[in-house]
């Protein structure tokens, strides 16, 4: 397994861990993902491209030159496969320029994170071209049905005309946990290269400090898709390229318009529902696996362990660990279940001797019976 970049958050003490929720480290999930795209420059033979930054009037560039992209070249620097976007190097992925046709405005990149995670943020760094103009960031848990996370447009007016969404002005902000916005903030022409796109999926939302089920569902994904739909161009070239086939335009113009990405970082964590602070690689399941605490069990710590059902399972939060509580079976039973009616009627005694909770003991031993195995079974009695 490739190495993950780790940000670790630990409890100061075991008591503190019990009192509040536990959350695994935030990892760069992209470093271990599978990545694919439907278009890469040089796939069908060598092609020439030019850097836009070297062809802008008023910019003094020494020895401007065009370069070659060739996926079969012996020179690795002339290859620009999509894997370059997540390998942590200074190499980059590059799409065919629109000299090859208008269809290369529409390019799709898909990441498979290999299991479902909670995704906190996505950072995309452009290489030798401007950031994409119009595009959609999408999520999926099954790789079949995708939902939008965020829309990006060249202008606020295109948010309305292209995506039928009222634009969010200025830096992106969010009014709801699952709000999908459209922004032109990250589609500006400058910088002409090495620009960045920062998309926060948790921070800035109403429940960022205490996740709701809606926010957890909104940020859960195994597959992430970038649907690039329009290359960012100089305003002077916009009209020409909008109404003419790029193949009929001077190649000096069209060779400088393409997508390039040198890094995609996906910050996220295992979904452990606030009951685990570590999530190591399991060589058997080939997955990152929650190490459950708070007396919880299950692949995602999503249930109470046997014998710990005095209260119903709840996710841990930043303020409350919601530790599963042991049933009081007087050492006469190994398992129990929670019953709301028993809790309402205060028929179950907890381990502190209080009638709080709804734990009902199962398979009481030593001829005992009752909610807490507190009485003798029919036909049996205690001589003392």
Q: What is the pTM of this model?
A: 0.87
Distance of CA 132 to the CA centre of its chain: 20
Report the length, in residues, of the chain.
Answer: 384
Query: What is the signed CA dihedral for 16, 17, 19, 25, rounded to 10 degrees?
Result: 120
The whole-number pLDDT of residue 12 equals 45
For the chain, which residues score pLDDT lower than 50? 1-10, 12-13
Summarised one tens digit per residue, pLDDT across range 157-176 is 999 999 999 999 999 999 99
Q: Which residues pair with 36 in a beta bridge?
A: 110
Q: What are phi and psi of 188, to 5 degrees?
A: -65, 155
Could you give the CA distance from residue 359 to residue 363 in angstroms, rounded to a whole number?
A: 13
State residue 57's pLDDT score.
57
Span 210-238, pLDDT tens digits: 888 999 999 999 999 999 999 998 876 65
Nearest CA to 277 out of 16, 5, 3 is that of: 16
CA proximity to 44, closest of 72, 80, 82: 72
Q: What is the pLDDT of residue 248?
A: 64
Q: Cα separation of 86 and 264, whole Å?
A: 6
Confidence (pLDDT) at 311: 98
Residue 184 CA, chain-centre distance (Å), reads: 22
- Residues with Cβ within 8 Å of 176's Cβ and at least 6 positions away in sequence, in order, are 205, 206
Backbone dihedral angles phi then psi of residue 15, each to the nearest 5 degrees: -65, -45
Among candidate residues 166, 204, 201, the one with its CA nearest the CA of residue 184: 166
Q: What's the pLDDT at 61?
A: 52
Confidence (pLDDT) at 243: 55
pLDDT of res. 10: 45
* Per-residue confidence (pLDDT) for residue 62, from 0 to 100: 55
- Measured CA to CA, the distance from residue 364 to residue 331 in angstroms comes to 9
Please count the other Cβ atoms lying within 10 Å of the Cβ belonging to residue 363: 11
Q: For residue 119, what pLDDT is reported?
A: 98
- All structural domains of the chain, each given as residue ranges with its CATH number in brackets, are 25-269 (2.60.120.260), 327-384 (2.170.300.10)
């Amino acid at each position: 397994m490739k190495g993950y970049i780790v940000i670790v958050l630990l409890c100061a003490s075991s008591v503190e861990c019990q009192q509040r929720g536990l959350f695994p480290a935030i990892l760069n999930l992209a470093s271990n993902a599978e990545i694919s795209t439907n278009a890469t420059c040089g796939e069908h033979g060598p092609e020439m491209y030019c850097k836009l930054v070297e062809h802008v009037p008023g910019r003094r560039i020494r020895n401007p030159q065009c370069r070659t992209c060739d996926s079969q070249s012996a020179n690795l620097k002339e290859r620009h496969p999509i894997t370059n976007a997540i390998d942590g190097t200074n190499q980059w992925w590059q799409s065919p320029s629109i000299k090859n046709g208008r269809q290369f405005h529409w390019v799709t990149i898909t990441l498979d994170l290999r299991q479902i995670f909670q995704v906190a943020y996505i950072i995309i760094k452009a290489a030798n071209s401007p950031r994409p103009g119009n595009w959609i960031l999408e999520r999926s848990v099954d790789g079949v049905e995708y939902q939008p996370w965020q829309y990006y447009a060249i202008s606020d007016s295109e948010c309305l005309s292209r995506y039928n969404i009222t634009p969010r002005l200025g830096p992106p902000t969010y009014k709801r946990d699952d709000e999908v916005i459209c922004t032109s903030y990250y589609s500006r022409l400058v910088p002409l290269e090495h620009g960045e796109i920062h998309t926060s999926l948790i921070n800035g939302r109403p429940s960022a400090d205490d996740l709701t089920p809606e926010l957890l569902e909104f940020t859960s994904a195994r597959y992430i898709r970038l649907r690039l739909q329009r290359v960012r161009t100089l305003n002077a070239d916009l009209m020409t390229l909008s109404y003419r086939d790029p193949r009929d335009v001077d190649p000096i113009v069209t060779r400088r318009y393409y997508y390039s990405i040198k890094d995609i970082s996906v910050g996220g964590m295992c979904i452990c529902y606030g009951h685990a602070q570590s999530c190591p690689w399991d060589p058997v399941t080939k997955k990152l696996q929650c190490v459950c605490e708070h007396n919880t069990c299950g692949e995602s710590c999503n249930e109470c362990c046997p014998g710990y059902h005095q209260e119903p399972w709840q996710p841990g939060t930043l303020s409350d660990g919601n530790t599963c509580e042991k049933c009081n079976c007087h050492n006469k039973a190994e398992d129990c279940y929670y019953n709301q009616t028993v809790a309402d009627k205060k028929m179950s005694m907890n381990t502190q001797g209080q009638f709080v909770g709804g734990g009902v003991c199962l398979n009481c031993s030593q001829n005992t019976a009752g909610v807490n195995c507190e009485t003798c079974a029919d036909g049996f009695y205690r001589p003392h």
